[in-house]
Structure 1
Amino acid sequence: MNQENIQNDNANATRSAFWASLIFYGLIAFEFFYMFSPFAAYVYSIYGPGLQVLNLSESTSWLIRFFMPHIARETQSLFITRHEVIGMVFFVGGFIAFLVGAAQIYWNKLKKKGGVFGGIYRQIRHPQYLALMISSFGIVLVWPRYLVLFGFVTVCFAYFFLARMEERECERKFTDYDEYCSNTGMFLLPGIENIFNRFTWPEKKMGKILSVIGLYIVIMLMGFAVARGIHSYAINSLYTYTTQQEVYLSLGQITQEEIADMVTTVKSDSVVAASLNKYWNTNNRFINYMMPASLFVSEVPMHIPEGKVPTHERPGDKDQSHFKVIFSLAQFGPDGPVDGQYILYHAVNKTPVLEVWINRDTQSVEKIFNPPMDKYYEGMPVPVF
């Protein structure tokens, strides 16, 4: 096989690996995009079974949980409240940077100028892969399932090896490429990247493979540990009122005293008490969502009047004198139920049982609804907080 064929084979391998990595992460991150589309419920019916398979075992069910809120739009933490906005900045910024890098490459190809060594490539050899990593990190913040975090770490390693493959090809094509590499960083500015270059890979192939696997495991565990800490911080920042078997979760800013007053109003109604009594036993746990009556959210099955559309508006912008409480049974993985605040840590889904509208000014129940017949994501593992 001649040198030209070897170069073509390496180029084809690089392109194949690149598209494989994009497809891999795209399948994981795809959930975020279609959840905001008009076809969300339809596509979820296809995507959901894969999540259900993960939910069959306690060793994998945690992967489908969220470590930051999606339903609750207001929390006691500015970062947790705005994490989706921050994520979109990373996502859009990374995508724009990717397009800038692509424009440089295709401009050089169009003008037949050869390799790209100027512009954003003057300091960093692979700004496009870096841009894709930044964009992928944005998706982690916008749609923070542990599964998406797993995909992010995996795809970053994939980009690293794609970059190494491209560099080996460039070394054969450009005689001064080694000098270019010595003056630039692979993904970061040279001064910063030199700190990490102190790490040297073993010379033997098996040693390199084991080192990569070990590094991948360490970084993955560190990522999950950080996400776990954020998970705890996020749940503690929610506006909640907790008993042993119930968590009352307000989607907006409200005090525990105000939540407790509404709980008293709801449970003092004889019709409500009788309806909930049939579900009350030692094995059941409840996640009960509280929000303004004029707010409608697709991830929490509720009565939606004709002409209204589920949204993710800020609860604080709605009328605060009329609220509703959606009582739902929490669903757990194979290990079963937990108590108190841990309900939100371990629940993977919920089943609505009753919806109650109250007038906070008169402290009275106004309307009572049974769970809707048509649910957006019935049986699908959607966010619980």
Structure 2
Amino acid sequence: MHDNVPAYGLWSLVLLNSAVFIFFAFSFFKPKSPRDWRSFGAFSAFILALFTEMYGFPLTIYLLSGWLQSRYPDVNWLSHDAGHLLEELFGWRANPHFGPFHLLSFLFIGGGFMLIAAGWRVLYEAQRRGTLATTGIYARIRHPQYVGFVLVMFGFLLQWPTLLTVAMFPVLAFMYWRLARHEEQEALGRRLITA
């Protein structure tokens, strides 16, 4: 990126990117219960925190600025490229968008979206028939959509780690694990009742 292009304060990009990802998650997740809404809300907060630091206000850079500047004095920490902390910290001096962590993040994000999409098709058909989803990706992974959401979040952490999202990630992963366990128990309960 060029130094004369603003790196932060791009609130329209924060809103646009957040809206796209939150709408996408909503279209697949379709929260119904209060527990679903809590999980969806936590995911939405993760996305908002991520894009706010990516395009709006670099809180992590400001909080770590003393340490970062003393260790890496040649880096312009207020440039957009410097926000790709892992590339900077590991010495990737080329365009960070082609750095190893950024490219690896695309695999996690893309894989997560593919799992979500594959799971959605099978789950939609099973719900339409009133049966348990056990075919397709559900024959191999019990909760492909939740695993997909966790992969997407992890991919974003590789791409743009921030203090807030690093702290939120294990909480969100735990919330999805609990949600998956609860849904399993509900499904088993319904299965026993109808048997």
The reply to whether TM is greater than 0.5 is: yes
CA distance in 1, matches of 2:112, 2:124: 18
Aligned-residue offset at 1:130: 0.9
Give the drift of 1:13.
2.8
1:159 is displaced (CA, Å) by: 0.6
- Contact 1:137 1:152 (8 Å CA) reproduced: yes
1:140 is matched with which residue?
157
The answer to whether the 8 Å contact 1:88/1:138 transfers is: yes
Give 1:157 shift. Answer: 0.9
| Superposed CA offset, 1:308-330 (max 9, x none) | xxxxxxxxxxxxxxxxxxxxxxx
In the TM superposition, residue 95 of structure 1 has moved relative to its aligned partner by 1.1
2:104 matched residue in structure 1? 86
Deviations 1:175-218 (A, max 9, x none): 29xxxxxxxxxxxxxxxxxxxxxxxxxxxxxxxxxxxxxxxxxx
**The structure with more radius of gyration:** 1
CA distance in 1, matches of 2:155, 2:182: 26
The letter for the 1-side match of 2:114 is I
| 1:123 pairs with one of 136, 140, 146 | 140
Name the Cα RMSD after superposition: 3.5
Which position in structure 2 is the counterpart of 1:6?
A: none
Query: Which residues in structure 2 correspond to 1:230-379 (within 5 Å)?
Result: none
If the length of structure 2 is used for normalisation, what is the TM-score?
0.60
Percent identical among aligned pairs is 26
Partner deviation per Cα, 1:39-86 (whole Å, 9 max, x = no partner): x4xxx1xxx29x38x849x9xxxxxx864136999449xxx9321011
Following superposition, the deviation at residue 19 of structure 1 comes to 1.4
Q: What count of residue pairs does the alignment treat as equivalent? A: 142
Bigger strand fraction: 1
Q: Does the 8 A contact of 2:119 with 2:144 survive in 1?
A: yes
Q: Give the number of the structure with larger relative contact order, counting CA–CA contacts within 8 Å between residues 6 or more apart.
A: 2
For the Cα contact (< 8 Å) 1:101–1:127, is it kept in 2?
Answer: yes
Structure 2 residue 150 is the aligned partner of structure 1 residue 150? no
Distance change (3 Å), C-alpha of 1:72 and 1:164: closer
Residue of structure 2 equivalent to 1:25: 46
Q: Which runs of 5+ in 2 are unaligned?
A: 1-31, 67-82
Give the TM-score, by structure 1 length.
0.32
Q: How far off its partner does 1:105 sit?
A: 0.8
Report the Cα offset of residue 28 of structure 1: 2.2
User: Does structure 1 conserve the Cα–Cα contact (< 8 Å) formed by 2:84 and 2:159?
Assistant: no
* Structure 1 alignment gaps of length 5 or more: 1-10, 59-64, 177-385
